[in-house]
């Protein structure tokens, strides 16, 4: 870039010294300092890359990047680590390939499909219900963080592979994916172990092609999906990357959401009572059907508020393809953009008394009073989470089954510690005493 263009450009304020905005504890602590000092748009020189990083904490600018001018932004540097794990799956891919994959995968997430798959989700919860019943009879202590991780993993595996999951468990002598909930480091060792699971999945795909069993699950839909323009199916490599992507994207985020939702329920008796009353009002009229479940508004509100406090994806990134503008400021091509759901969810202009847990923030009237992009646990625009509705259904099924039966007494007295890595988790498992209602 010549000196002339540099002078002509209007760049946002920010520090002179480089800082690596990333999914680390250091960045988690530094970001609020930068926002307090420089405002809602901060330019931060990067220690590794030539182009600057912009930290964006303004709903209008966020809307510009994710929605209005999304075509000018690719997935950013934060995704290179995820790429090792997920190959070129839909979370990390860009451009025409991403569009094609999204078109092929999207139908699996429509309401009618999820209505059928909700039976599988309920079945996973029934298994957990049995385990919790036995523990509640003895008022045992449970590690809910662990239980939520196991449940969410089982749910995504069930909707992917349905009854073939049992065959897979039998052949492998247990759940070959279980280490994902036990080893949370996501280091190279885990990456290699995870990628080695492709063999198991390939064997399942080969078996399905040969035997052609009738199945209604995500795998069947992805195997049958055809590109509208070319009529081509996904290659096995593409299929594998997408399966891996859904397993990772679909379980840890949901597990964290369950973990936090229980935490707030257990620590707010008034919220617990209202949620319980809502579930009972629906159950008392008979067995809830799918529409009843998805109409559980208070549960949706409390889960939304938990996601506001602790969005599992607390930081994500984009890279500008061409030059752009945010307000009066220039965004040169190559600029890396960092958006933090965690910090925009605490912005005092949109979230008064942000530390207070208040599901009333998510009534439909309250939602109309603020810009939609002040709340982005699932991101926004065309790259918005494909599983947002699925995740909410998962939460609604879980709480509608568990709340009427069990009371959780929160046991940990030490202050909560956060672990802000790729996902925002609690550093330690949260423990509760479980009892029957």
Binding site residues, ligand HEM, CB under 6 A: 90-91, 102, 156, 245-246, 249-250, 253-254, 257, 312-313, 316, 377-379, 383, 385-387, 390-391
From the CB of 371, what's the least distance to ligand HEM, in Å?
Answer: 17
- Give me the long-range contacts of 77-81 (CB less than 8 A, separation at least 24): 77/49, 77/317, 77/319, 77/336, 78/22, 78/23, 78/315, 78/316, 78/317, 78/338, 79/317, 81/186, 81/422
Provide the Cα torsion 181, 249, 43, 28; round to 10°. -20
Closer of 53 and 257 to ligand HEM (Cβ):
257
From the CB of 4, what's the least distance to ligand HEM, in Å?
Answer: 35
Q: At what angle do helices 269-283 and 388-402 cross, to 10 degrees?
A: 90
Closer of 18 and 107 to ligand HEM (Cβ):
107
Provide the Cα torsion 359, 365, 371, 375; round to 10°. 20
CA atoms within 13 Å, Cβ hemisphere of 185: 8
From the CB of 291, what's the least distance to ligand HEM, in Å?
Answer: 20
Closer of 59 and 377 to ligand HEM (Cβ):
377
Provide the H-helix boundaries in 138-184. 144-161, 164-172, 179-182
CB 132 within 8 A of CB 113: no
Closer of 306 and 430 to ligand HEM (Cβ):
306
From the CB of 258, what's the least distance to ligand HEM, in Å?
Answer: 9
Closer of 109 and 329 to ligand HEM (Cβ):
109
Pairing between β-strand 73-75 and β-strand 41-44 as defined by DSSP bridges: unpaired
From the CB of 118, what's the least distance to ligand HEM, in Å?
Answer: 13
From the CB of 247, what's the least distance to ligand HEM, in Å?
Answer: 9
From the CB of 101, what's the least distance to ligand HEM, in Å?
Answer: 8
Closer of 266 and 307 to ligand HEM (Cβ):
307
Closer of 43 and 158 to ligand HEM (Cβ):
158
Residue 420, classed as helix, strand or coil, is strand
Q: Which of 67, 69, 39, 44 is nearest to 54 (CA)?
A: 44
Q: Is 353 left (phi over 0), alpha (psi -120 to 50) or beta?
A: left
From the CB of 414, what's the least distance to ligand HEM, in Å?
Answer: 26
Closer of 22 and 257 to ligand HEM (Cβ):
257
Number of H helices, E strands in the chain: 18, 12
- Which residue is at the shortest CB distance from ligand HEM? 387
**Separation of alpha carbons 7 and 204, rounded Å:** 59
CB 320 within 8 A of CB 334: yes
Q: Which of 240, 392, 228, 236 is nearest to 307 (CA)?
A: 392
Closer of 153 and 246 to ligand HEM (Cβ):
246
**Separation of alpha carbons 129 and 187, rounded Å:** 33
From the CB of 290, what's the least distance to ligand HEM, in Å?
Answer: 17
Closer of 135 and 425 to ligand HEM (Cβ):
425
First CA to last CA distance, the chain: 68
CB 312 within 8 A of CB 423: yes
From the CB of 254, what's the least distance to ligand HEM, in Å?
Answer: 5
């Amino acid at each position: 870039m010549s000196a002339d263009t540099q002078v002509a450009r209007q760049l946002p304020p920010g520090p002179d010294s480089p800082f690596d905005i990333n999914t680390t504890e250091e960045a988690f602590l530094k970001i609020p300092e930068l926002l307090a000092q420089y405002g809602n748009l901060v330019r931060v020189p990067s220690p590794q890359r030539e182009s600057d990083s912009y930290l964006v904490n303004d709903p209008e600018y966020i809307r510009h990047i994710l929605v209005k001018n999304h075509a000018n932004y690719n997935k950013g540097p934060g995704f290179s680590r995820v790429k090792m794990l997920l190959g070129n799956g839909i979370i990390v891919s860009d451009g025409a390939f991403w569009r094609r994959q999204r078109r092929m995968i999207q139908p699996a997430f429509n309401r009618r499909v999820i209505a059928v798959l909700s039976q599988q989700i309920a079945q996973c919860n029934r298994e957990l219900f049995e385990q919790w019943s036995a523990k509640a009879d003895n008022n045992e202590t449970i590690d809910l963080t662990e239980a939520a991780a196991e449940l969410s993993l089982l749910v995504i595996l069930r909707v992917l592979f349905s009854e073939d999951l049992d065959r897979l468990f039998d052949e492998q002598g247990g759940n070959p994916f279980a280490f994902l909930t036990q080893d949370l480091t996501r280091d190279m060792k885990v990456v290699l172990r995870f990628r080695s699971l492709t063999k198991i999945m390939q064997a399942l795909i080969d078996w399905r092609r040969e035997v052609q069993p009738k199945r209604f699950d995500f795998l069947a839909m992805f195997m049958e999906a055809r590109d509208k323009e070319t009529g081509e199916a996904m290659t096995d490599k593409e299929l594998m990357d997408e399966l891996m992507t859904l397993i990772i994207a679909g379980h840890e985020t949901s597990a964290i959401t369950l973990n936090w939702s229980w935490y707030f329920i257990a620590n707010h008796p008034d919220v617990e009572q209202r949620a319980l009353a809502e579930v009972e009002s629906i159950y008392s009229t008979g067995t809830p059907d799918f529409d009843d479940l998805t109409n559980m508004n208070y549960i949706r509100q409390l889960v939304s508020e938990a996601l506001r406090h602790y969005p599992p994806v607390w930081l994500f990134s984009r890279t500008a393809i061409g030059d752009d503008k945010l307000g009066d400021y220039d965004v040169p091509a190559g600029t890396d953009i960092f958006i933090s759901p965690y910090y925009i969810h605490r912005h005092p202009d949109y979230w008064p008394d942000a530390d207070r847990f208040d599901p009333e923030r998510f009534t439909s009237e309250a939602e109309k009073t603020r810009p939609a992009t002040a709340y982005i646990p699932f991101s926004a625009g065309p790259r918005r989470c494909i599983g947002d509705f699925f995740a909410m259904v998962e939460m609604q099924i879980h709480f509608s089954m568990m709340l009427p039966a069990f009371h959780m007494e929160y046991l940990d007295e030490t202050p909560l510690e956060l672990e802000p890595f790729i996902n925002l988790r609690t550093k330690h498992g949260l423990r509760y005493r479980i009892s029957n209602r």
